[in-house]
Amino acid sequence: MQYLFKGSQTQERLNYLFAMCKIKSDDIKAAASDHLVKGLSKNNAALLNNVPAPNLTRALKTLNTYAELVEKIKEHDAAHSQY
């Protein structure tokens, strides 16, 4: 399932996802931010940050995997909440 979409994230939430995964490249992070926070297309975000588009796509898939885990944890917590 797709959890991350163009322009759908805040920079703060994206930073939390970066903290959980192994993406270290500042250029990839900037391109992901341009796509997920600012709403640029994947190709434009990659070009603007001088990264190969396939590398950005791979990073976005990784981020989506972590976003999925976050959502599953939230669902689990909601289902087991006593409040």
Residue 1 lies in a domain: no
Give the tens place of pLDDT for each residue, 22-80: 999 999 999 999 999 999 999 999 999 999 999 999 999 999 999 999 999 999 999 88
Residue 83 has pLDDT above 70, yes or no: no
Residue 5 covered by a domain: no
Q: What is the tens place of the pLDDT at every residue in 4-27?
A: 999 999 999 999 999 999 999 999
> What confidence category does residue 81 fall into, taking pLDDT thresholds of 50, 70 and 90?
confident
For residue 71, is it within any domain?
Answer: yes
Q: What gap in Å lies between CA 9 and CA 36, rounded to an integer?
A: 6
Tell me the CATH number at 71: 1.10.10.2690
User: How many domains, the chain?
Assistant: 1
Cα dihedral 75, 19, 60, 14, rounded to 10, equals 70
In a domain, 46, yes or no: yes
Ranges of beta strands (E only) in 2-73 are none
